[in-house]
């Protein structure tokens, strides 16, 4: 009986060794087939979720793997490294933002002043939802070692610059605004929106620790609508 037990144990050990060898034959860095059921898009969405809570500089593959409940090798398989992952996240977020801005441009194509107001509010609402978007673009995409990241940033920036320069020229032609550089207005709106979110500690002092966030957001949006046009209005 003891001999049979030894033989059975030996067979189990041999099967485990063979299984380990087969697993090692998989391509280096390639996740197990069962892991591939989680697609690249799902991982990008999880990264964007996490970027609502942590700054881009704090997002690592290990942290995302834990948050998304996937193996880190799966993230590397799809995106190669951290820079590839963050570029994919930036592209996804910009696609969401671009869709909202396009809707404003289409709906208010004939009213450049109102279009500026509503685009500013659209940027504010997006910034509130994704507080680290511009940090992602400036800190990570701009400084990415990938040429495709540099090209993406130039394309995104050119779209924003072109849109605001066109609106600036149109408001001047219609006598709504005095001559101004649309790029400066574009930068000012980005800064106004971003600091409203990062300046939350100031709001807590000003309105109290338990202030009504939704109400203050709405009041700021109303202020922003007026401010962006009053600042360039023809005198």
The CATH number of the domain holding residue 200 is 1.10.357.10
Question: What tens digit of pLDDT does each residue of 179-198 get?
Answer: 999 999 999 999 999 999 99
pLDDT of residue 1: 47
Q: Is residue 26 part of a domain?
A: no
Percent of the chain with pLDDT over 90: 83
Q: Is residue 62 part of a domain?
A: no
Evaluate if residue 131 carries a pLDDT over 50: yes
Task: Give the SS3 label for residue 197.
Answer: helix
Q: Is residue 46 part of a domain?
A: no
Q: Is residue 218 part of a domain?
A: yes
Mean pLDDT, all residues of the chain: 88
pLDDT of residue 18: 41
Smallest CA-to-CA distance from 126 within 198, 194, 199 is with 194
For the segment 126-150, the average pLDDT, to the nearest whole number, is: 95
For the segment 77-103, the average pLDDT, to the nearest whole number, is: 97
Q: Is residue 100 part of a domain?
A: yes
Q: Is residue 123 part of a domain?
A: yes
Residue 13 — very low, low, confident or very high, per pLDDT cuts 50/70/90? very low
| Spatial separation of the C-alpha atoms in residues 217 and 30, rounded to whole Å | 45
Smallest CA-to-CA distance from 185 within 229, 226, 221 is with 229
Evaluate if residue 117 carries a pLDDT over 80: yes
Q: Is residue 142 part of a domain?
A: yes
For the segment 111-123, the average pLDDT, to the nearest whole number, is: 96
Smallest CA-to-CA distance from 92 within 80, 104, 79, 103 is with 79
Evaluate if residue 29 carries a pLDDT over 90: no
DSSP string, 1-21: -HHHHHHHHHHHHHHHHHHHH
Domain that holds residue 192: 81-230
Question: What tens digit of pLDDT does each residue of 51-65 get?
Answer: 999 999 999 999 999
pLDDT of residue 10: 47
- Statement: the pTM of the whole predicted model exceeds 0.95: no
For the segment 125-131, the average pLDDT, to the nearest whole number, is: 97
Task: Count other C-beta atoms under 10 Å from residue 141's C-beta.
Answer: 23
Task: Give the SS3 label for residue 80.
Answer: coil
Question: Cβ(117)–Cβ(229) under 8 Å?
Answer: yes
Smallest CA-to-CA distance from 77 within 32, 47, 140 is with 32
Question: What tens digit of pLDDT does each residue of 30-80 get?
Answer: 555 445 567 999 999 999 999 999 999 999 999 999 999 999 999 999 999
pLDDT of residue 38: 76
Q: How many domains does the chain have?
A: 1
Q: Is residue 18 part of a domain?
A: no
pLDDT of residue 15: 55
pLDDT of residue 7: 45
């Amino acid at each position: 009986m003891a001999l049979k037990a030894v033989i059975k144990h030996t067979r189990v050990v041999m099967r485990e060794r063979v299984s380990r060898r087969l697993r090692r034959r998989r391509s280096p860095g390639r996740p197990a087939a069962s892991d591939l059921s989680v697609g690249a898009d799902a991982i990008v969405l999880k990264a964007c979720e996490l970027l609502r809570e942590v700054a881009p500089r704090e997002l690592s593959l290990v942290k995302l793997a834990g948050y998304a409940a996937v193996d880190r090798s799966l993230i590397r398989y799809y995106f190669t490294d951290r820079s590839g992952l963050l570029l994919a996240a930036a592209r996804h977020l910009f696609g969401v933002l671009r869709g909202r801005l396009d809707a404003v441009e289409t709906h208010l194509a004939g009213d450049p002043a109102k279009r500026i107001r509503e685009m500013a509010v659209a940027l504010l609402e997006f910034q509130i939802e994704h507080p680290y978007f511009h940090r992602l673009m400036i800190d990570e995409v701009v400084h990415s070692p990938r040429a495709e990241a540099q090209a993406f940033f130039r394309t995104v920036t050119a779209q924003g610059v072109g849109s605001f320069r066109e609106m600036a020229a149109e408001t001047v032609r219609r006598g709504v605004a005095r001559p101004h550089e649309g790029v400066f207005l574009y930068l000012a709106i980005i800064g106004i929106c971003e600091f409203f979110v990062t300046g939350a500690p100031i709001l807590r002092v000003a309105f109290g620790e338990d202030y009504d966030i939704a109400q203050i957001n709405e009041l700021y949006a109303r202020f922003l609508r007026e401010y962006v046009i009053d600042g360039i209005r023809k005198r």
